[in-house]
Structure 1
Amino acid sequence: MAMDALREVMPPSSLPLSNLPRQDLKQVWAIADFKRQGFLGLKEFITAIQLVSLAQAGHVPTNDLLNAEVDLENLKPPVMEGLDVLLAKKKFTPKTNEAELNGSSQVQPSPTAHWFTSSKSAKKVPLSSVTSIFDGLKKLYIQKLKPLEVTYRFNDFVSPLLTNSDFDAKPMVMLLGQYSTGKTTFIKHLLKSSYPGAHIGPEPTTDRFVVVMNGPDERSIPGNTVAVQADMPYSGLTTFGTAFLSKFQCSQMPHPLLEHATFVDTPGVLSGEKQRTQRSYDFTGVTSWFAAKCDLILLLFDPHKLDISDEFKRVISSLRGHDDKIRVVLNKADQIDTQQLMRVYGALMWSLGKVLNTPEVMRVYIGSFNDKPVNEAITGPIGKELFEKEQDDLLADLKDVPKKACDRRINEFVKRARAVKIHAHIIAHLKKEMPAMMGKAKTQQRLVDNLADEFGKVQREHHLPGRGFPKCRAL
């Protein structure tokens, strides 16, 4: 009700002026829109107005300003040039809307919320003007990108069609590593409790992919059920067959951390060829699918298991294209002394350099992420201080995941749009090369045998980047 009144009072064509510098107004918006939604709700709008009032009083708008000792009860409304004229033109009569009083949720009022709750607008604002960035991406996808994907069958070659749940899903963090490197213990350390179906032990215990997400109660949902639920973004996993879905489950539990992020616990990677033949599903393909959906990928290593097996090498290679999401964690580092830690760190960097083949040095966090105190008898006071700083850095990186979720979705949407564009040009070129009447089978075989040359023709004709084309070996 208050927001409608404000929009009626302050139409876009004649917004009142606070006479603050543009830099201060930019900072006020950045602080108020902390969810990066692209619009302000009632609570966020009140925060913005409070910051404007404090800025006019001489304070510098910062994140800690509202948490400081500021008397918000007696804070005066900001001075807005032209607001008195607009208020004089509009006559509001306070009315009580019974439907609004019996609404589904009640927002806790701020100390200065009475500034904005005295009137109601009779004019309705169109929904398109208050949409979020995620809704905008959904609209763009349905109207512009999805018809192109359907026409050129992008879902059959590259990636399944996106659904509403893919846009609305919470940010995901996936943990990868060999067995007993502390993946499940890491999640337990963050949640300060165990999730349903968690098993921890020195031997390989987690034998399935487990999505740990927020829910009304503690329960485990089988993979076949999760894959067909419309409100969950896991319908694409049905392409990996029933053998995989039987090794997939969702663990729900009420937790404040899970309201902002979802964690993906994975089976431990064992030694190469033997383990590959024992799996009944495409392990590398599943990790690659989750890597495309996740916002952060944590590779966990144990100081006593630095060797990278064949299967682990394939898994890391499947993460190509998602290098900005990868973080390396050297877990259980309190089991060795400082001198050994230095040598283990060097050996880990050497092993990763052989697999990743990138000139950049990957960020490696060192610590012992469990609920036990650091073993000072081994690490010493220097090691304890190092572990605390590394843990703070990693936790800060994890806290940034929900904040950067909007930017990540936009980035992934742009990458998908470019992939669809290249795919459409390829299909259109191959169709144009096919004869109208006779010799279709022979021409089709010739095109398949010379895909690299055909890709080169498409690239030169449409001036497309070569790195965006699919690998011929994968086809």
Structure 2
Amino acid sequence: MFMFLICLIDLLAKLAVVPQPQVTAKAPWYKSKSIIKPQVNVVTIVDGLKRLYTEKLKPLEVTYRFNDFASPVLTNSDFDAKPMVMLLGQYSTGKTTFIKHLLGCDYPGAHIGPEPTTDRFVVAMSGPDERTIPGNTMAVQADMPFNGLTSFGGAFLSKFECSQMPHPVLDQITLVDTPGVLSGEKQRMQRSYDFTGVISWFASKCDMILLLFDPHKLDISDEFKRVITSLRGNEDKIRVVLNKADQVDTQQLMRVYGALMWSLGKVLNTPEVVRVYIGSFNDKPINEAAVGPIGKELFEKEQNDLLADLMDIPKKACDRKINEFVKRARAAKINAYIMSHLRKEMPAMMGKSKAQQRLMDNLQEEFGKVQREFHLPAGDFPSVEHFREVLGGYNIDKFEKLKPKMIQAVDDMLGYDIPDLLKKFRNPYD
């Protein structure tokens, strides 16, 4: 009897450890594929860029007022910021719905509807809890990369807010939802802040810019054209998305795609054909009755390609920071050459006001002189209209003369310091 009890206890112990079958739900897209997290040495590369900026590039920017003519001075939060993705498009093209599709849920304060619902710039970021933070509070926080937005004034900051929530996607990237671009000139004039200027500021900080189009709204309005023009210099970040494509059948989709490419060709002054992703980025199933089985397969492939492109952003974040840093250094050098050249053209004693007006009227010719003297590429020069507008508030004779030591320090940084930094610390995601 005693041995029988021992055998029975042993049998029950073995049955207790038998694994039971479990039913697992389908994982969302951001968990089905691994999102690579940065290693420790990415911080060292960013620290190296901070040191180079403070020691060599920042003195050149401050001396020749680069922060007034091009971009504000960088802070540590600008280097430490997570990669950002900005969504642009006319109203009701699905920008907020696209973010909801990526996250699998609404972010705090999100509004979706057929009318223009998003009336402000909303930055969706990772945070310990769900809450919204006003724009004025965000702009003064030292650990946030939005200090430069204070230059657009309180009228803009009242239309800017941050939406925080804990989410695995937001742990890797930050999403920027923008107001719908308006079509009428009267509506555009009613904006109380520089809309295209804000777009240009975000474009310089973002790692990817998504231009969303609706099959029923392919016309590019005057304001939308100005917005796309303000993205000059960031063409490599632009991705075009033809959203809500399952609302038309296959024949109509072919014509819509051709019309969209024709419209973009008139705005994007590039000979290359831009990549257009076709799909319907929402939580609803694809309308197979309209597009057919072939169209459904096409949409799925296009959506997977775009999601894969988004998932590669954290992996390329370190390279993007270095690329933007080098681009900024080249722009600061050209700004210094322009400032010193204009200062040299001013008279020593009398006739300064007339000379300044003459230089401003013939600014394009002066740019050409600087280009030929220092053998600089014409595509790297700033916009003549914007430069002339800012230049009107300064006395050119107060500008600094050219300081070759500062220029040489930046050249050494580009030629030696940054390559050495890349050799010392390999890509942290490899």
Which TM-score tier does this pair reach, normalised by the shorter chain? Answer: 0.7 to 0.9
Question: 1:339-395: CA deviations, max 9, x gaps?
Answer: 111111111111111111211111111111111111112122111111110110000
Taking structure 2 as the reference length, what is the TM-score of the superposition?
A: 0.79
Partner of 2:313: helix, strand, or coil? helix
Matched residue, 2:74? 162
1:338 Cα deviation after fit: 1.1
Q: Indicate whether 1:294 and 2:296 are aligned.
A: no
**1:310-459 alignment, distance < 5 Å:** 310-459=222-371
Pick which of 452-461 and 388-397 moved more. Answer: 452-461
Partner of 1:200: helix, strand, or coil? coil
Matches of 1:349 and 1:269, distance apart in 2: 19
1:274 Cα deviation after fit: 2.2
Relative to structure 1, the CA distance from residue 270 to residue 179 in structure 2 (aligned partners, 3 Å threshold; closer, same or farther) is same
Equivalenced residue count is 352
What code does the residue aligned with 2:285 have?
P
1:335 Cα deviation after fit: 1.1
Matches of 1:252 and 1:323, distance apart in 2: 29
**1:134-153 alignment, distance < 5 Å:** 134-153=46-65
Matches of 1:188 and 1:318, distance apart in 2: 27
Matches of 1:158 and 1:147, distance apart in 2: 15
Q: 2:176 aligns with which of 264, 279, 304?
A: 264
Matches of 2:365 and 2:172, distance apart in 1: 46
1:456 Cα deviation after fit: 2.0
Judge conservation of contact 1:272–1:312 (CA < 8 Å) in 2: no
1:35 Cα deviation after fit: 5.4
Matches of 1:224 and 1:391, distance apart in 2: 36
Partner of 2:41: helix, strand, or coil? coil
Partner of 1:403: helix, strand, or coil? coil
Gaps of 5+ in 2: 1-35, 389-430
Matched residue, 1:10? none
Question: 1:4-25: CA deviations, max 9, x gaps?
Answer: xxxxxxxxxxxxxxxxxxxxxx
Pick which of 332-341 and 139-148 moved more. Answer: 332-341
Matches of 2:37 and 2:128, distance apart in 1: 23
What code does the residue aligned with 1:180 have?
S
Matches of 1:393 and 1:354, distance apart in 2: 26
Pick which of 265-274 and 464-473 moved more. Answer: 464-473
Matches of 1:239 and 1:39, distance apart in 2: 34
Partner of 2:325: helix, strand, or coil? helix
1:275 Cα deviation after fit: 1.8
Question: 1:51-108: CA deviations, max 9, x gaps?
Answer: xxxxxxxxxxxxxxxxxxxxxxxxxxxxxxxxxxxxxxxxxxxxxxxxxxxxxxxxxx
Partner of 1:316: helix, strand, or coil? helix
What code does the residue aligned with 2:366 have?
E
Judge conservation of contact 1:37–1:133 (CA < 8 Å) in 2: no
Matches of 2:144 and 2:63, distance apart in 1: 26
1:307 Cα deviation after fit: 1.1
Question: 1:145-188: CA deviations, max 9, x gaps?
Answer: 00111111111111110000100000000000111111001000
1:435 Cα deviation after fit: 2.8
1:38 Cα deviation after fit: 8.3
Matches of 2:251 and 2:282, distance apart in 1: 22
Q: 2:44 aligns with which of 132, 138, 141?
A: 132
Matches of 2:41 and 2:76, distance apart in 1: 20
What code does the residue aligned with 2:176 have?
V
Q: Indicate whether 1:39 and 2:25 are aligned.
A: no
Partner of 2:314: helix, strand, or coil? helix
Matched residue, 2:23? none
Matches of 2:289 and 2:37, distance apart in 1: 43
Matches of 1:411 and 1:272, distance apart in 2: 37
Matched residue, 2:397? none
Matched residue, 1:171? 83
What code does the residue aligned with 2:53 have?
Y
Matches of 1:435 and 1:342, distance apart in 2: 62
Matches of 1:353 and 1:327, distance apart in 2: 14
1:272 Cα deviation after fit: 3.0
What code does the residue aligned with 1:360 have?
E
Question: 1:106-132: CA deviations, max 9, x gaps?
Answer: xxxxxxxxxxxxxxxxxxxxxxxxx62
Judge conservation of contact 1:37–1:406 (CA < 8 Å) in 2: no
Judge conservation of contact 1:36–1:406 (CA < 8 Å) in 2: no
Gaps of 5+ in 1: 1-33, 41-130
Matches of 1:473 and 1:176, distance apart in 2: 24
1:437 Cα deviation after fit: 2.9
Partner of 1:263: helix, strand, or coil? strand
State the 4+ residue runs in structure 1 displaced beyond 4 angstroms.
Answer: 34-38
Q: 1:467 aligns with which of 365, 369, 379?
A: 379
Matched residue, 2:142? 230
Partner of 1:300: helix, strand, or coil? strand
Matches of 1:261 and 1:352, distance apart in 2: 27
Matched residue, 1:84? none
Partner of 2:385: helix, strand, or coil? coil
Question: Pairwise CA RMSD of aligned residues?
Answer: 1.5
Partner of 1:391: helix, strand, or coil? helix
Matched residue, 1:43? none
